[in-house]
A and B are shown apart, each in its own frame.
Chain A
């Protein structure tokens, strides 16, 4: 249970960063921290005590495997996380070229 709680705390640190920071790069960093904590949470759910790596070994047919399903889900999610981070970074670099700042409060034309 301690592990789950620490994982949530990592998520909440990322949430704090997203809400309070003014710098666009730091907001992206906080988002990726939240992302990492969710990946870790899913991998934690699939863990089984004394489980072995989910690779079939003919020499040991009665092995107790770790749950392969969350691992398969996280595997694709990690790659998509990379793509979205790259996209956010390209947005940031366009914004910097146009406004010469990364401070969200100085980018007045983006205000809703």
Chain B
């Protein structure tokens, strides 16, 4: 189980590295979806079929949007001459990565070991949830019943983002 997840995660990391370094933007976009579809398999292994279904739909739509944008603008990554700014950016990035890595590694110490999570909250959600919410699917019960107001708030965020995208696409730029 942990082995299978690790293998898929390594593949996802390789896909992400290729997406960041690819010369052609179209292949960068497509290798970004290696990460997305790898995530679907991880969700299936982690016993989360709802997430897998949503993720596969969302990833496909994202891929279509990104390919449309890339084909409508330019496919070429602008030729990058090695200029001093690049070295500064890479040095900053490496410094940031090393420090964040140590912080995250320290944070894992306070986590429960993988697969032995103590369900503090979820215990109450699971006990008799089917009778309380009327839904056999516990995830649906949590989203629409126990945490209905959270879902309402997130729906507001969703509507705002969609309205923003529509507004940006509709305005005429000033000359």
Q: A residues touching B (Cβ–Cβ < 8 Å)?
A: 1-17, 19-23, 25-26, 28-30, 32-33, 36, 39-40, 43-49, 51-57, 65-69, 71-72, 74-87, 89-94, 96-98, 101-103, 105-106
Partner of B16, one of A33, A90, A105: A33
Partner of B58, one of A8, A54, A57, A79: A79
Secondary structure type dominating chain B contacts: helix
A67 to chain B, nearest CB (A): 5
Q: Which residue of B lies closest to A2 (CB)?
A: B6
* Interface size bracket, B side: 35 or more
Secondary structure type dominating chain A contacts: helix
Name 4 extra pairs, CB < 8 A, besides A68-B142, A74-B48. A16-B94, A53-B48, A69-B121, A75-B50
Partner of B5, one of A3, A48, A75: A3
Residues from chain A with a CB closer than 8 A to the CB of B77 are 23, 26
Given known contacts A13-B13, A69-B121, A80-B158, A36 and B36 CB-to-CB distance under 8 angstroms? yes
| Distance of A44 Cα from B47 Cα, bound (Å) | 10
| CB of B117 within 8 Å of the partner chain | yes
Q: Is the CB of A15 within 8 A of B100?
A: yes
| Distance of A19 Cα from B88 Cα, bound (Å) | 10
Residues from chain B with a CB closer than 8 A to the CB of A84 are 161
| Distance of A98 Cα from B174 Cα, bound (Å) | 9
Q: Is the CB of B66 within 8 A of A25?
A: yes
Q: Is the CB of A10 within 8 A of B74?
A: no
Q: Is the CB of A51 within 8 A of B47?
A: yes
Q: Is the CB of B5 within 8 A of A86?
A: no
Which of A65, A82, A91, A105 gathers the greatest number of chain B CB atoms within 10 Å? A82
Q: Is the CB of A83 within 8 A of B158?
A: yes
